[in-house]
Amino acid sequence: MTIVGKMKSAMRRATPRPVRRFVGEYLAQRWNARHEQMPVEEIFSAIYREQRWGKSGDFSSGDGTHNLDVVQPYVEAVGKFLRSFAQPPSVVDLGCGDFHVGDQLRSCCGRYIACDVVPALIERNKEKFAAANVDFRCLNIIEDDLPEGDVIFLRQVLQHLNNAQILRIVQKLYRYKFLVVTEHIPVAPNFSANIDKPTGGGTRLPENSGVVLTEPPFQFKVASESVLCAVNESIGKNAGLIRTTLYALEAA
């Protein structure tokens, strides 16, 4: 590594995580604006290729996937839900990313289908997790039909899409029994839900917004909902909450 590179690396380590996240959100907004006309496969392939979500390995899905303070509560809460079934449920993981989190829940599931829109990432996952008995598929969840299953995981996926794309996905979700959605939302409860944004790596936090499927324009109809876990993550003026909600789509 060059001297300049070492200096930049040292500065990153010395900068608090909330500040890095805030700066990252700002830069992501600028990047999204330049790339919003690209197909989603190209957008997210470029994000991984340019390591915009982190550099921990060949592919990284970012802090939300590798920060133990975020991941551990999620794995514990979702694992408890999955173990409540008489038989391990079949799971469809939409936007599986680098599969660092999904791999920790694999033992709680029956059939497991993990999907992502980035072809190179799916090929990498097939090789790295070959022993996990996971059906990895390259899938555009906006355009393509979704696989059958009991439970859907959508973990910090919708926050990267625009509202029109989310609406197209929502209409496909009613076929499932349960939906486990994780979104990065403002801490303050009076935020404006679902402010639109360009497709890409950032979230709606800089606009004091976040994705809430049961609010307009999505108005997702559910039989019941409950929060499985929520982790605070302060980001300068944009205090963030990574919240995982369980939606039951069929009445008990």
pLDDT at residue 81 greater than cutoff 60: yes
Q: What is the dihedral of CA 66, 72, 77, 80, to 10 degrees?
A: 110
According to the model, what pLDDT value does residue 1 have? 46
pLDDT at residue 15 greater than cutoff 70: no
Domain assignment present for residue 6? The answer is no
Is there a contact between 162 and 101 (Cβ–Cβ < 8 Å)?
no
pLDDT at residue 186 greater than cutoff 60: yes
Higher pLDDT, 237 or 184: 184
* pTM, entire model: 0.83
pLDDT in tens, 130-150: 999 999 999 999 999 999 999
Domain assignment present for residue 4? The answer is no
pLDDT at residue 59 greater than cutoff 90: no
**Number of structural domains, the chain?**
1
Is there a contact between 176 and 150 (Cβ–Cβ < 8 Å)?
yes
pLDDT in tens, 85-104: 999 999 999 999 889 899 99
Domain assignment present for residue 118? The answer is yes
What CATH number is associated with residue 61? 3.40.50.150
Full domain range(s) for residue 231: 15-248
Domain assignment present for residue 5? The answer is no
Domain assignment present for residue 148? The answer is yes
Average pLDDT rounded to a whole number, residues 209-237: 90
pLDDT band at 24, cuts 50/70/90? low
Average pLDDT rounded to a whole number, residues 35-56: 75
Amino acid identity, position 243? R
Domain assignment present for residue 211? The answer is yes
CA distance 188 to 229: 16
